[in-house]
Each structure stands twice: as structure tokens, then as C-alpha cells.
């Protein structure tokens, strides 16, 4: 069964270019270590009125912020664990992930692992 790591991040719009540069490097690292697919999506149509909770409200965005919705696809949870173990040992990740240089607040990032239930 496929497995996904999912992320929701509130980020200042002015920091999107720096974030996307970092995410591009991250994508290469995760794919190098076996991730099947890697997605980074910036909010575009987030003013939803009639369907559940809009992402900006969920992510508690502030003035000038948007939401990044991201996911990484793996073959299985075991595959995800193996890939992430390799990624966390990759020296490039340590260079990229200095908490003092992140283009967003880490404490406001939501993250979780998900079993894929429907795949079409």
C-alpha cells in the first residue's frame, strides 16, 4: 500500500522564492534516496466559502502569508521509513535545515504520515 508524508505550512509570500529554492533541493535529495514523487504547492485559490475549513484558517495565516501544501509519495510506510532514514543522514539536509535560516516558522508546520486509501 502506498504511503504519503503530508505537510501544511504557513509562509510569508515574500519568502516563497527562498522556500521554493530550498524545496527544489529537498526534492532532489528525497528522490535520490528513493521517494517516488515529491510535490510542493503554493496556495492559489484559498478563499473557499462553502466547503469545510479554508486552508488559511486551518494554518492560521497572518497578513501577507499563504499556505504551502506538500506531499512525498513512497511505496509503503516501511519504504518511507527507510528513505527518511537515509535523507536524515544526508549532509545536504543538515546544511539546508538550519532552524535559524528557515523561510517559515517550523513550529507552525503541520506534518503527518498517511496510508493511501484510494489511488486512481
Q: 32-59 burial, b for 16+ CB within 10 Å, e for fewer?
A: ebebbebebebbeebeeeeeeeebbeeb
Q: Which residue has the higher pLDDT, 49 or 114?
A: 114
Q: How far apart are the first and last CA of the chain?
A: 13
pLDDT value for 97: 75
Read off the pTM: 0.91
**Integer Cα distance of 71 and 7 in angstroms:** 6
Residue 101: pLDDT band (50, 70, 90) is confident
What confidence category does residue 105 fall into, taking pLDDT thresholds of 50, 70 and 90? confident
How much is the average pLDDT of 44-59? 89
Instruction: Say yes or no to pLDDT of 17 above 90.
Output: yes
Q: Name the band, by pLDDT with cuts 50, 70 and 90, for residue 15.
A: very high
The yes-or-no verdict on residue 99 having pLDDT over 80 is: no
Helix (H, G, I), strand (E, B) or coil at 35: coil
CB atoms within 10 A of CB 93: 16
Residue 83 grid coordinates: 528513505
Q: CA 1, CA 78: separation in Å to the nearest integer?
A: 10
Amino acid at each position: 500500500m502506498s504511503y504519503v508524508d503530508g505537510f501544511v505550512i504557513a509562509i510569508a509570500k515574500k519568502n516563497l522564492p527562498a522556500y521554493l529554492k530550498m524545496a527544489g533541493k529537498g526534492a532532489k535529495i528525497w528522490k535520490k534516496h528513493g521517494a517516488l514523487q515529491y510535490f510542493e504547492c503554493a496556495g492559489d485559490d484559498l478563499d473557499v466559502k462553502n466547503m469545510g475549513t479554508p486552508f488559511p484558517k486551518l494554518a492560521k495565516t497572518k497578513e501577507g502569508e499563504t499556505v504551502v501544501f506538500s506531499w512525498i509519495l513512497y511505496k509503503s510506510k516501511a519504504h518511507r521509513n527507510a528513505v527518511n532514514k537515509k535523507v536524515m543522514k544526508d549532509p545536504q539536509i543538515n546544511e539546508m535545515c538550519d532552524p535559524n535560516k528557515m523561510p517559515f516558522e517550523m513550529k507552525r508546520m503541520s506534518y503527518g504520515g498517511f496510508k493511501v486509501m484510494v489511488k486512481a
